[in-house]
Amino acid sequence: DVKVTQSSRYLVKRTGEKVFLECVQDMDHENMFWYRQDPGLGLRLIYFSYDVKMKEKGDIPEGYSVSREKKERFSLILESTSTNQTSMYLCASSSGSGNSPLHFGNGTRLTVT
């Protein structure tokens, strides 16, 4: 079974702090994604990566950046958190072939106070 592991389950940060959300997958998947999940809005794509050191903006990249130095690891960076970034963050991975399913981590619930 594919395993996607997110480093933290719950995080509480103060406004203006820097946050790193780490995600590791163990199936040698080419593609990795960061989504945020908010009630009534579903999942919205923040950033994705199709290869090491490659990144592309999703639908809501403002206020976020990412890093992919190794194939198995994809990090989401919030340089200076704000209260509107309070959300559930989900990492996902998939193989390179089109239409392959996404495999999700269990999510990180970030609260910014």
Partner 1 sequence: GNSVTQMEGPVTLSEEAFLTINCTYTATGYPSLFWYVQYPGEGLQLLLKATKADDKGSNKGFEATYRKETTSFHLEKGSVQVSDSAVYFCALGLRANDYKLSFGAGTTVTVRA
The least CB distance from residue 75 to partner 1, in Å, is 17
60 binds partner 1, rule: CB under 8 A: no
Q: Using CA atoms, how far apart are residues 4 and 104, in angstroms rounded to an integer?
A: 6
105 binds partner 1, rule: CB under 8 A: yes
Pair 78, 63: CB distance under 8 Å: yes
Selection from 96, 8, 104, 85 nearest residue 49 by Cα: 96
Q: Using CA atoms, how far apart are residues 51 and 76, in angstroms rounded to an integer?
A: 15
The least CB distance from residue 109 to partner 1, in Å, is 10
**How many residues bind to partner 1 according to rule CB under 8 A?**
24
- The site for partner 1 (CB under 8 A) is made up of 4, 33, 35, 40-45, 48, 50, 58, 90, 92, 98-107
